[in-house]
Amino acid sequence: MSPDDPAQSPRTSPLARWGALALLVAALLLGFLPFQPPSPLPADAPGTEFSAWRARKRLEVIAAAPRPMGSPRHAEVREYLVSELRAMGLETEVQVAQVFVPEYGHAFGAATVHNVVARLPGRTGAHAVLVVGHYDSVPTGSGASDNGAAVSSMLETARALRQGPPLENDVLFLFSDGEEHRLNGAAAFQRFHPRARQVSAVLNFDARGTSGSVLMFQTGADNGWLIRQLAAAPHPVANSLSAEVYKQMPNSTDLTVFMDAGLPGLNFANIEGGLHYHTRLEDLEHLDMSTLQHQGELLLSMARRLGDADLAHVRERDAIYFNLGTVLVHYPVTWAMPLLVLALVLGAGAWGWAIRRGQLRARGLGWSVLGLLSALVLSCVTVWLAWSAVEWLVPGVRALPEGQTYRDGPFMLGFALLALGCHSGVLALLRRKTTPAELAAAGTLLWLIPTVLTTWMVPGASYLFFWPLLGLTVALAVAAGPSRDGGLAPGGVLALGLSAAPGLVLVAPFVFSVMVALTLALAFVAMVLAALLLAALAPVLRVVLGRMQPLTTAASFALGLLLVGTGAVLGARFDATQPRPNSAIYLLDADTHSAQWVSSDALQDDWLARFLGANPEARRLEAYANWSRNVWTAPAAQVLDLPPPTVEVVKDETHGGVRELTLRVASPRGAPMVELRLEPQTKLRDVRLAGTGLNAEQLEEARMALGGPRIQYWAAPPEGFMLTLVVESGQPLRLRVSDHTFSLPDLENLDESRPAGTTPVSYGEALAEGTRVTRTLQFREE
């Protein structure tokens, strides 16, 4: 067969080509349809329905200001929640508990929590569905999205359920405390609250952004039954690959506590608008009302379904699930292996058909495999270079945290076009060396590898590769089939378009999700999937574009670079609506009665120069803070007389080579957070607080901790808290104790006011802005 294959003949129907292109566009739109949340319902919507505008009225109260644990605003919101719930007629209580949570996070967390627990009684009350959303926020933002939206949605859902018929099961609403700080409230409820034993299923709602559809991104084991319930909800957005990926990440939410206790559950969150997350821009103005409506509709629908379901049987074998438009397709995970066998059988048949037709040449197949692999590598390298160039040329990008900008959209589309340009360019060079059938055959080889691996190792991820592989198998059979007048028949061209649909529907939106989740700095990772998708599209693009591939290459690169440049200019331009993040800490060492200014920002600006001066020093401060990189430091001109945390020895005993030291720790400043850090060489045997100690794994984590084991206590009572340290005897025990308030001190002759174009760095992405007072104590063994 001639390398200038019939599929490229001018006699191939132009109408069929346009029809195939239309099919590709339709598949792409179908793939992204789930990412369009529903329109918000007005305040006068029927009482049994969820209205985002009714929820917003409550959110205006909840998100009026930051509400971190231990703050007056935190207590005000708690009182508001109790008042609203009791006004609805729900049984409501405040669970107050001291809890030590060494399981989650890089520091051992502890707190005095105030959970708000409300109960909507069911007809039987034998089982309960638990709806969870935390009401605390980070200190740097009012938390309209994280997690005020969920809190207001829970209130609106409780109101709507009260107006409907009674449910079979109890619905428990847990407005948890301390999620932002080691999941303290959820742990307190699960360990100490009597109604925790009644819970049969958990629905947790959280956020990592201010817009976009609400995704169900995590499930517990044996999720088949819950997935079937979710599939019947309005506009479900979920896929089992996200759940598999999340298992490998160090992140945790309140659902983690309940999953560790063996409860089945679903985790929901929106992730778009991530640069607003944990900042002052996470406010009502930036919260997408469609996102709030989507969250509320899912919450209300799932609460109703589970509230009337037989919760005695909530476990079924895990499911594989994904979106086809707004429909959630699901099937048992046990189908993964038979589907793989089906793919192998059909693939072998398509290859045999193509070989018998004389459509596969060894040289053409080799060039096709080499071309697709080269395009994959080139796509990843090109996108990595593009982002690296942006970081080098645009300093404002380096000032933004975690590879995000205020205009990520142009970057994402630009990167996709650069990947398309790489593929189109490589395939244009190989146009006379390959045919559509050979490209399809090479594509099946590339897609078969991840299909086999995921089916064998992570079957929940197998759908993403099986269905595009099936489409490529069809493409191979079509491309190797009979032709008419030296070109593919119109039906064959359209069939090629349909064969590419599974890849566009499933993979294209996942590439977008990966770039959102991993940020632009790791966008080159998403290009691996993008390149695989383009490999699946190669046969149809070869037919549709024909000799236009060189022009497609040039246009893709030109438009891609233009979009990346646009994103760089618009996304890192700072003003009142797009403020530059920065942060400063006033660090007072009570031992030396000295103070310094500290900032972990990558770059300095004029506001930071007020504190750091013109020549700050870059150095490590691991003894003071958990930060593994250099920070900017400069001596503070004014040393304030701020009282340090107090530590009182309550008991100090040594028995059998083990020393047990019980301390009472308090913050005279009433700081919301107190941190204790042991030296790395401390031979720690146990830490006991609130009746909880460490297991062997946690002790090993403490031994490996950067700068030594840390314990953070939030919202301590005025009298302080009791802490017991158990160490090997015969060693000096040194303890650094700090407390932290989240505002800068009022200093003379220093203007601390922020310009309109700046904002504190997102909480968790840098050292927390504020005032920290620290001291070091040594407890000698008697």
Structure tokens at 356: 């018998």
pLDDT, tens digit, 9 for 90 and up, residues 767-776: 889 999 999 9
Chain CA centroid to CA 701, Å:
24
**Over the stretch 172-204, which tens digit does the pLDDT of each residue have?**
999 999 999 989 999 999 999 999 999 999 999
Instruction: Name the residue type at position 758.
Output: T
Q: Are 272 and 146 in contact (CB under 8 A)?
A: no
Hunting for tokens 């329905």 — which residue is that? 49
Decide: 469 and 512 in contact? Cβ < 8 Å.
no
- Return the structure tokens found at 22: 């239309």
Q: How far apart are CA 109 and CA 177, in angstroms?
A: 13
Angle (CA) 106-107-111 rounded to 5° is 135
Measured distance CA(768)–CA(292) in Å, rounded: 29
Given phi > 0 = left and psi -120 to 50 = alpha, else beta, which region is 779?
A: beta
484: pLDDT confidence band, cut at 50, 70 and 90?
very low
Bigger pLDDT: 60 or 730?
60
For residues 687, 692, 693, 695, the Cα torsion angle rounded to the nearest 10 degrees is -150
331-349: b or e for each residue (b if 16 or more CB lie within 10 Å)? eebebbeebbeebeebbee
Could you give the CA distance from residue 292 to residue 50 in angstroms, rounded to a whole number? Answer: 10
User: What is the predicted pLDDT for the residue at 482?
Assistant: 61
Please indicate, yes or no, if residue 11 is contained in any of the structural domains.
no
Instruction: Report if residue 325 sits inside a domain.
Output: no
How far, in Å, CA of 31 to CA of 416, rounded?
Answer: 15
Q: Has residue 60 got a pLDDT over 50?
A: yes
Question: Positive or negative CA dihedral for 71, 77, 80, 81?
Answer: negative
Q: What is the pTM of this model?
A: 0.93
- List, in order, residues 6 or more apart from 270 with CB less than 8 Å away: 145, 207, 208, 209, 210, 211, 212, 213, 214, 215, 291, 294, 295
Domain membership of residue 669 (yes or no) is yes
Q: Give residue 262's pLDDT band: very low, low, confident or very high (50, 70, 90).
A: very high
Residues 734, 586: Cα–Cα separation, whole Å? 23
Strands 199-207 and 128-134: parallel
Same domain, 608 and 551: no
* Cα(538)–Cα(439) distance, integer angstroms: 7
Same domain, yes or no, for 488 and 603? Answer: no
What's the pLDDT score for residue 11? 55
Most confident of 48-62, 604-618, 740-754: 48-62
Q: What is the pLDDT of residues 3-36, one digit of tens each?
A: 444 444 445 678 888 999 999 999 999 999 999 9
Residue pair 189/182 in contact (Cβ under 8 Å)? The answer is no
- Residue 362's CB is within 10 A of a number of other CB atoms, namely 8
Residue 366 sits in the same domain as residue 449:
yes
| End position of a domain, from candidates 550, 571, 592 | 571
Above 80 in pLDDT, residue 490? no
What percent of the chain has a predicted confidence (pLDDT) above 70? 97
Residue 26 has a CB neighbour count (10 Å cut-off) of 14
Q: What is the mean pLDDT of residues 381-395?
A: 95
Question: Residue 485 pLDDT > 60, yes or no?
Answer: no
Query: Both 394 and 284 in a single domain?
Result: no
Q: Are strands 265-270 and 170-176 parallel, antiparallel or unpaired?
A: unpaired
Residues 178 and 242 both lie in one domain: yes
How far apart are the C-alpha atoms of 204 and 206, rounded to whole Å? 7
The reply to whether 594 and 733 lie within a common domain is: no
**Segment 96-120, tens digit of pLDDT:** 999 999 988 778 999 999 999 999 9
Model confidence at 494, in pLDDT bands (50, 70, 90)? very high
278 and 374 both lie in a single domain = no
User: Residue 49: pLDDT band by 50, 70, 90 thresholds?
Assistant: very high
CB atoms near residue 602 (< 10 Å)? 15
Distance CA 486, CA 266 (A): 55
- Helix/strand/coil for 733: strand
- Residue ending a domain, among 316, 344, 368, is 316
Contact (CB, 8 A) for 473 and 347: yes
Tokens 């938390």, residue?
143
* Confidence at 250, pLDDT banded by 50, 70, 90: confident
Residue 340 CA to residue 467 CA, distance in Å, equals 10
Extract the tokens encoding 35.
């990412």
How far apart CA 550 and CA 233 sit, in angstroms, is 46
Q: Which long-range contacts (CB under 8 A, 24 or more apart) does 392-397 make?
A: 393/568, 394/568, 394/569, 394/572, 395/572, 395/603, 396/572, 396/573, 396/574, 396/580, 397/568, 397/571, 397/572
Instruction: Please tell me whether residues 105 and 223 are part of one structural domain.
Output: yes
- CB-CB contact of 144 with 59 (8 Å): yes
Q: Which residue has the tokens 């939030």?
A: 714
* Domain around 173: 52-316
- Does the residue 422 lie in any domain? yes
Digit-coded pLDDT (tens) for 663-718 = 999 999 999 999 999 988 899 999 999 999 999 888 888 888 777 889 999 999 99
Q: For the ranges 490-494, 522-526, 568-572, which has the lowest average pLDDT?
A: 490-494
Q: Domain check: are 600 and 662 in the same one?
A: no
How many Å apart are CA 324 and CA 242, to the nearest integer? 15
What's the pLDDT at 9?
47
Q: Is residue 528 part of a domain?
A: yes
With beta carbons less than 8 A apart as the criterion, state whether 771 and 588 touch.
yes
Within 10 angstroms of residue 610's Cβ, the number of other Cβ atoms is 14
In a domain, 552, yes or no: yes
Q: Per residue in 580-597, pLDDT tens?
A: 999 999 999 999 999 999
- Cis peptide bond N-terminal to 115, omega within 30: no
DSSP H or E segment with residue 635 = strand 631-635
For residue 92, what are the β-bridge partners? 118
CA–CA distance, 448 with 451 (Å, rounded to integer): 5
Phi and psi at residue 714, to the nearest 5°: -110, 145
Question: Model confidence over 727-736: pLDDT tens digits?
Answer: 999 888 999 9
First to last CA, the chain: 93
Is 35 within the bounds of a domain? no
pLDDT value at 624 more than 80: no
Among the candidates 518, 545, 571, a domain finishes at 571
CATH number, domain of 657, equals 2.60.40
The Cα 273–Cα 144 span in angstroms is 13
CA distances (Å), origin 346, targets 29, 350, 366, 469: 28, 6, 22, 10
The phi and psi torsions of 632 (rounded to 5 degrees) equal -85, 135
| Per-residue three-class SS string for 521-542 | HHHHHHHHHHHHHHHHHHHHHH
Spatial separation of the C-alpha atoms in residues 395 and 476, rounded to whole Å = 48
Q: Which two tokens stand for residue 128?
A: 């309960």
Torsion, CA 51, CA 57, CA 58, CA 64, rounded to 10: 140
Inside any domain, residue 12 = no
- How far is Cα 612 from Cα 370, in angstroms, rounded to an integer? 54
Greater pLDDT, 363 or 764: 363
Residues 390 and 442 in one domain: yes
Question: What confidence score (pLDDT) does residue 626 get?
Answer: 66
- CA–chain centroid gap for 126, Å, is 35
Q: At 649, which amino acid appears?
A: V
Question: Across the chain, what does the average pLDDT equal?
Answer: 92
The residue with greater pLDDT, 10 or 257, is 257
- The answer to whether the CB of 154 falls within 8 A of the CB of 133 is yes
Q: Do residues 363 and 230 share a domain?
A: no
What pLDDT score was predicted for residue 3? 45
d(CA 750, CA 639) in angstroms, rounded, equals 13
Question: Within this chain, do residues 298 and 256 fall inside the same structural domain, yes or no?
Answer: yes
Q: How many domains does the chain have?
A: 4
462 has pLDDT over 50:
yes
Q: What number is the average pLDDT over the span 460-486?
A: 86
Amino acid at 525: V
Cα 513 from chain centre? 10
| Residue 486 pLDDT | 42
User: For 493-502, 647-656, 763-772, which range has the lowest pLDDT when averaged over its residues?
Assistant: 763-772
CB 683 within 8 A of CB 747: no
Percentage above 90 pLDDT, the chain: 78
